Amino acid sequence: MRGARVEVMSVLIKNGRIITADADYNADIFIEGERIHTIGKNISHKADTVIDASNKLIFPGGIDPHVHLDMPFMGTFSSDNYETGTRAALFGGTTTVIDFILQKQGHSLQEALAEWSGRASGNAIGDYSFHMAVTDFNQNTKKEIINMVEKEGITSFKTFMAYKGALMIDDRQMIGLMEEVKQHGGMVTVHATNGDMIDYLIAKHRDERKLSPLYHYLSQPEVTEAEASERFVDMANYTGCPAYIVHLTCEGALNAVRNATKRNQNVFVETCIQYLLLDASLYEHNFDSAKWVMSPPLRQKKDQETLWAGINQGIVNIVATDHCPFMWEQKKMGKKDFSKIPNGHPAIENRMELLYSEGVNTGRISVNKYVEVSCTNPAKIFGMFPRKGTIAIGSDADIVIFDPTEKHELSATTHHMNVDYSGYEGWEVTGKVKTVLLRGQLAIDRNECLINKGYGQFIKRKKVLGRI
């Protein structure tokens, strides 16, 4: 029996300036179906759609490797689901996200995978993949690691050194997990803060009736992150397991990684856009500062400088978001007690524009570094390169057409994230995502989303190398 003829659509992008992690040149791009077919000067192929990208920059689709969509957390769910979250990501130039499956303590990884796949599949508009958060490492979990890597294409295993009783594992479990993951070609990633110290400080502040959002910040001083980061790095060194620290915020933690490089250990580091741009002066007694209740908390200006420098030194590899939005009504769960405010910050839509405006326009990073930390390194570190993360022949046609001169204001009244406040209300940014293609399909154009839920594909990932 002859199969139905599938129509392959083509797109020609003319006259753009293509920026990758290591190149910057003017050329046309011809896309056939889902992939980039040709890159060259004055391409004359006929195409179903022709886009004029004169005076625009062309970036690979952004990859945000740290998001929480529809996540059960602190007695509620993060307010963006796969449909709203990946749509907002596309509006902001992010075509692929990596979300976190959370194993329930006492249950299997496979059960958790089924639960998260049920939420994502058929709903995602943009492409997505999963990290597996191991919250209960035991003899049964151990047997499941190989299947995750070899069969499911889930090659990164997230651990929490905090959130005791819900997500935290102890060092014994950490070492066991690292040994198993290393053997099968995966990587262990970590929320590196000292959970016991933080729980002690939270209890102390509550006993003293210090209950405003400011005490969220004061319950997680820099030492809690620096200590846990150093411990994690040492355990990774001992086991030889590829390692990655998520949402690193401060000088002390980065120094632990820098010290590890002196023994030729490599540990990947992610920071998030908010830690580069916002600081702890935002914490007050006023409940409004519940907006900034996230873990780790915002830090000092000196930490921001360390992080920007770390990006240029190649020690901070990725700028993500840790997008974990909650409606104001949900934040109010902690109106009388900071420890009950759901932790998280919305930024999935804002990352690429903010990093361009505050990073490239201010001269803090080059435009190539911008692509490296927001597109290419996430693809390389998490086993999606060169399918994702670059503009090259044969790569997925995930493309952002960006106007570097357009000024606009960020606001909850215009953003597409399902959250009723913005962490960046009224911020003026220079540079706007104009058009986005996802696997060859026009996804965003003229401020409209042109693809529907279900278009987003689960991306199976390759084994990781531990170096890029």
Sequence-distant (6+) residues with CB within 8 A of 118 are none
CB of 299 to ligand URP, least distance (A): 14
C-alpha pair distances (Å), 218 with each of 74, 141, 211, 440? 20, 35, 11, 48
Contacting ligand URP (CB under 6 A), which of 239, 343, 435, 441? Answer: 343
Q: Of the candidates 17, 68, 182, 291, which one interacts with ligand URP according to CB under 6 A?
A: 68
Q: Position of tokens 């994502």?
A: 120
* 324 is an interface residue for ligand URP by CB under 6 A: yes
Is the backbone of residue 336 left (phi > 0), alpha (psi -120 to 50) or beta? alpha
Which partner, Zn ion, ligand URP, none, binds residue 84 by CB below 5 to 8 Å per kind?
Answer: none
CB of residue 203 vs ligand URP: minimum separation in angstroms? 19
Q: Residue 146 or 166: which CB sits closer to ligand URP?
A: 166
Smallest distance, Zn ion to C-beta of residue 296, A: 8
Q: Which residue is nearest to ligand URP (CB)?
A: 343
Tell me the closest approach of the beta carbon of residue 195 to ligand URP, in angstroms: 11
Give the one residue of 310, 344, 383, 431 binding ligand URP; rule: CB under 6 A: 344
Hey, what are 152's tokens?
A: 């499911």
Tell me whether residue 191 or residue 380 sits nearer to Zn ion (CB atom): 191
CA 254, 188, 302: angle at the middle one, nearest 5?
A: 15
Q: Name the minimum Å distance from CB 270 to ligand URP.
A: 11
Interaction between residue 64 and Zn ion (CB under 5 A)? no
**Using CB under 6 A as the criterion, what x/- string covers residues 283-302 for binding ligand URP?**
-----------xx-------
Shortest CB 297 distance to ligand URP, Å: 9
**Least Å distance between CB 72 and ligand URP?**
11
Q: Which does 344 bind (CB under 5 to 8 A by kind): ligand URP, Zn ion, none?
A: ligand URP
Distance of CA 40 to the CA centre of its chain: 32
Q: Is 408 exposed, middle or buried (0-12, 13-18, 19+ CB in 10 A)?
A: middle
- Residues in contact with 404: Cβ distance below 8 Å, sequence separation at least 6, in sequence order: 56, 57, 356, 361, 430, 431
Q: Which does 461 bind (CB under 5 to 8 A by kind): ligand URP, Zn ion, none?
A: none
Which one, 191 or 388, has the nearer CB to ligand URP?
191
**CB 221 to Zn ion: min, Å:** 16
Which element (helix H / strand E) includes 199?
Answer: helix 195-207
d(CA 178, CA 189): 10
How many CB atoms are located within 10 Å of the residue 184 CB?
A: 15
Which one of 322, 353, 372, 398 is in contact with Zn ion (CB under 5 A)? 322
Asked whether position 191 contacts Zn ion by CB under 5 A, the answer is yes
Interacting residue with ligand URP among 64, 225, 251, 322 (CB under 6 A): 322
- By beta-carbon proximity to ligand URP, the closer residue of 123 and 343 is 343
Residues 340 and 114: their CA atoms lie apart, in Å, by 29
Asked whether the beta carbons of 275 and 256 are under 8 A apart, the reply is no
Is the distance from CB of 51 to CB of 445 less than 8 angstroms? Answer: no
The whole-angstrom separation of Cα 434 and Cα 457 is: 23
Nearer to ligand URP, 306 or 321 (CB): 321
Reduce the secondary structure of 102-150 to three states and give it as a string: ECCCCCCHHHHHHHHHHHHCCCCCCEEEEEEECCCCCHHHHHHHHHHHH
What is the spatial distance between Cα 397 and Cα 411, in angstroms, rounded to a whole number?
30
- Residue number of the CB closest to Zn ion reads 191
Total residues binding ligand URP (CB under 6 A):
8
Please, what is the minimum distance in Å from the beta carbon of residue 302 to Zn ion? 22
Is 56 a binding residue for ligand URP by CB under 6 A? The answer is no
Residue 294 binds which one of Zn ion, ligand URP, none, with CB within 5 to 8 A depending on kind? ligand URP
Q: If you search the block for the tokens 């009504």, which residue do you land on? A: 329
Does 227 help bind Zn ion (rule: CB under 5 A)? no
Which residues would be at the binding site for ligand URP (CB under 6 A)? 68, 191, 294-295, 322, 324, 343-344
Which residues would be at the binding site for Zn ion (CB under 5 A)? 191, 322
